[in-house]
């Protein structure tokens, strides 16, 4: 890739992080008023429609997009991501955007830690050191034993673990299936999963909130489009560090829109987690190079 493409990819990733943060803010608002499962179900209906339309426009159409050599793995990935979204949005409601994202930022470190047992990759002592430092940052954020620990923070940590496993399984699936195939199964399987769960929690929505719901659906599809484009035009190692911008973007929304506060320990701890995460990305790039 050229420098120009990497520069474009970085700006696309910055835009992706911003749209993802907006999506999280909309999810927090709607899930605070309505059942989480219903909100995620409607969001997935739109997401699945978007995925199917994209697949239909590609060479080979839907048949080609659905042609996987590992259907059970692809279905499990889709179910796992749908449930992870439910857990994370629940954390937004109970804990807020600021602290949820501060804890969730540990997921790249979890990917590094689990890449050995899941993918058979070798994790050197430098990355293990960064993983240990990163988890120290999580402890600083959570403050266990200081009387201010919130059990809801464990939801954000569970969401990070689920998303890390989803990311590793996506890399594992890529050994046999294309990104287009994985994308198709992610949207369709997630929609089926959330329909089976969410349909039992349906409740009437005010007309004004349907507008917020429509905006949530559009940001969900647009964020994935931007993410795909970012990885198309640039090297993953060049753009991935900028995904961390979702943390300050979401925190800004939490403070400005939802009147959340940023405690000192959260600021320090998230800084430690992000620094450790960036180091692991840098080490991965050095090893790949």
pLDDT digit string (tens) for 116-127? 777 676 767 777
The domain in which residue 190 lies consists of: 3-288
Number of structural domains, the chain?
1
* Cα–Cα nearest to 230, from 246, 54, 238, 2: 238
The pLDDT, as a whole number, for residue 236 is: 64
Q: Where do runs of H (alpha helix) occur along 34-152?
A: 36-57, 61-65, 71-95, 97-104, 107-119, 125-142
* Residue 25 or 153, more confident: 25
How many Å apart are CA 32 and CA 62, to the nearest integer? 36
Q: Which tens digit of pLDDT belongs to each residue from 60-107?
A: 889 898 899 899 999 999 999 999 999 999 999 998 898 888 888 888
Q: Which tens digit of pLDDT belongs to each residue from 223-249?
A: 878 887 777 777 666 677 778 888 888
How many Å apart are CA 235 and CA 141, to the nearest integer? 32
How many Å apart are CA 92 and CA 182, to the nearest integer? 27
* Residue 258 or 141, more confident: 258
What share of residues in the chain are helix, strand, coil (percent, to 5)? Answer: 85, 0, 15
* Residue 133 or 18, more confident: 18
Q: What is the mean pLDDT of the chain?
A: 85
The pLDDT, as a whole number, for residue 144 is: 58
> CA-based diameter of the chain, in Å?
58
Residue labelled with tokens 């943060």: 21
Phi–psi pair at 235, nearest 5 degrees: -70, 140
The pLDDT, as a whole number, for residue 223 is: 85
The pLDDT, as a whole number, for residue 129 is: 82
How many Å apart are CA 105 and CA 89, to the nearest integer? 15
How many Å apart are CA 263 and CA 213, to the nearest integer? 31
Mean pLDDT across the stretch 38-63? 91
Q: Is the pLDDT of residue 167 over 50?
A: yes
Phi–psi pair at 262, nearest 5 degrees: -105, 105
* Residue 269 or 150, more confident: 269
Rounded to an integer, what is the distance from CA 249 to the centroid of its chain? Answer: 14
Q: Are 36 and 90 in contact (CB under 8 A)?
A: yes
Rounded to an integer, what is the distance from CA 26 to the centroid of its chain? Answer: 15
């Amino acid at each position: 890739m050229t420098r120009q493409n990497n520069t474009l990819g970085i700006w696309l990733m910055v835009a992706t992080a911003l749209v993802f943060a907006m999506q999280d803010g909309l999810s927090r608002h709607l899930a605070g008023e309505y059942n989480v499962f219903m909100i995620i179900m409607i969001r997935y209906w739109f997401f699945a429609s978007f995925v199917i339309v994209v697949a239909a426009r590609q060479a080979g159409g839907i048949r080609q997009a659905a042609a996987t050599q590992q259907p059970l793995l692809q279905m499990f990935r889709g179910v796992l991501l749908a449930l992870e979204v439910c857990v994370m949005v629940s954390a937004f409601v109970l804990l807020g955007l600021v602290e949820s994202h501060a804890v969730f930022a540990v997921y790249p470190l979890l990917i590094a830690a689990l890449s050995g047992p899941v993918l058979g990759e070798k994790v050197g002592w430098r990355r293990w050191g960064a993983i240990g430092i990163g988890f120290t940052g999580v402890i600083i954020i959570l403050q266990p034993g200081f009387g201010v620990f919130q059990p809801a923070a464990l939801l954000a940590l569970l969401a990070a673990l689920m998303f890390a496993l989803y990311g590793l399984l996506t890399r594992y699936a890529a050994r046999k299936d294309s990104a287009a195939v994985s994308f198709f199964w992610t949207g369709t399987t997630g929609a089926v999963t959330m329909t089976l769960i969410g349909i039992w929690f349906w409740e009437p929505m005010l007309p004004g909130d349907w507008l917020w719901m429509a905006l949530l659906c559009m940001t969900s599809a647009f964020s994935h489009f931007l993410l795909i484009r970012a990885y198309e035009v640039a090297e993953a190692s060049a753009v991935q560090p900028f995904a961390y911008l979702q943390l300050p973007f979401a925190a800004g929304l939490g403070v400005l829109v939802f009147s959340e506060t940023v405690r000192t320990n959260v600021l320090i701890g998230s800084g430690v987690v992000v620094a450790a995460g960036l180091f692991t990305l840098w080490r991965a790039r050095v090893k790949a190079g």
